[in-house]
């Protein structure tokens, strides 16, 4: 296989970014145009949200437990184990809850979107939709975008709550700390800025997951091998973007709120 020159690689990269921006813009504006395909939105919300619930709960619970275990081990050296609940709740709400939930949903659903739409592309089902006068972006991409953003918001809230409970299970059950003190400190340390930061992130991450998964699915070429390649690329790119955008959002929120 010949190696592309640097200018061809740059041209392909710029073209891909341009095509992605066009697809994301169309999917977003279609939310305000009829028809809305509400049945498809509900179906996708059930598949993405309810289907991801078990793995989100498990991830949140054990993440909170590990946070409590590790933080208590460090804080005990300074006699400050009373603030274990603060560390767990702040870490879960501001950072680990949104990011880990998004990564779990990305691994499960970005790959699913890419493979599903990719299979429709290679079997020419999407071309048939266009021939029948149906906009495939509005029919296939927009419902997945709405469902991912909507459900990821609530999945993150569930992950934060379960993570705090997981930390309480370890702190109270294994480390013998005061349960009342744990929950009081976990609640009182949270401020408006922390909650806003923790709830803005899943909205942005949900947009990234849905648009990246659908983009690679809608641009699948090369038969079954192309479907596998698109699935892998969708998971890798969405995961990297989630981590990178998380840094940008965190920096912006710290600049705005000061914490």
- Render pLDDT for 57-83 as a digit per residue (tens, 0 to 9): 999 999 999 999 888 878 887 777 788
Could you give the percent of the chain with pLDDT greater than 90? 49
Whether 87 contacts 189, CB under 8 Å: no
Considering just the CA atoms, what is the radius of gyration of the chain in Å? 21
Total residues belonging to the chain: 259
Handedness of CA 77, 78, 80, 84 (dihedral sign): negative
Distances (CA, A) of 29 to 16, 24, 44, 108, 219: 20, 9, 19, 26, 20
Kindly list the domain boundaries of the chain, sorted by start residue.
Answer: 16-257
> How many Å apart are CA 169 and CA 117, to the nearest integer?
42
Q: Look-up: residue for tokens 């709740």?
A: 89
Using one digit for the tens of pLDDT, what is the confidence trace for 95-109? 999 999 999 999 989
**pTM for this structure?**
0.91
């Amino acid at each position: 296989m010949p190696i592309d020159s640097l200018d061809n690689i740059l041209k392909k990269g710029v073209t891909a970014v341009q095509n992605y921006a066009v697809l994301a813009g169309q999917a977003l504006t279609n939310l305000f145009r009829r028809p809305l395909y509400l049945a498809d939105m509900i179906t996708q919300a059930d598949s993405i949200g309810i289907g991801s619930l078990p793995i989100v709960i498990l991830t949140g619970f054990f993440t909170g437990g590990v946070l409590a275990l590790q933080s208590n081990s460090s804080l005990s050296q300074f006699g400050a184990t009373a603030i274990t609940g603060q560390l767990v709740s702040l870490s879960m709400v501001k950072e680990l809850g949104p990011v880990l939930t998004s990564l779990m949903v990305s691994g499960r659903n970005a790959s699913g979107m890419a493979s599903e739409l990719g299979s429709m592309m290679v079997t020419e089902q999407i071309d048939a939709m266009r021939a029948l006068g149906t906009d495939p972006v509005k029919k296939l991409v927009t419902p997945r975008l709405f469902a991912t953003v909507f459900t990821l918001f609530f999945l993150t809230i569930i992950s934060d709550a379960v993570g705090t409970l997981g930390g309480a299970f370890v702190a109270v059950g294994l480390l013998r700390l005061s349960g009342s003190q744990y929950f009081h400190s976990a609640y009182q340390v949270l401020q408006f800025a922390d909650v806003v930061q923790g709830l803005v992130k899943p909205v942005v991450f949900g947009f990234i997951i849905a648009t990246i998964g659908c983009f690679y699915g809608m641009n699948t070429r090369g038969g079954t091998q192309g479907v596998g390649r698109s699935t892998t690329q969708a998971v890798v790119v969405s995961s990297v973007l989630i981590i990178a955008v998380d840094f940008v959002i965190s920096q912006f929120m710290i600049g705005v709120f000061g914490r």
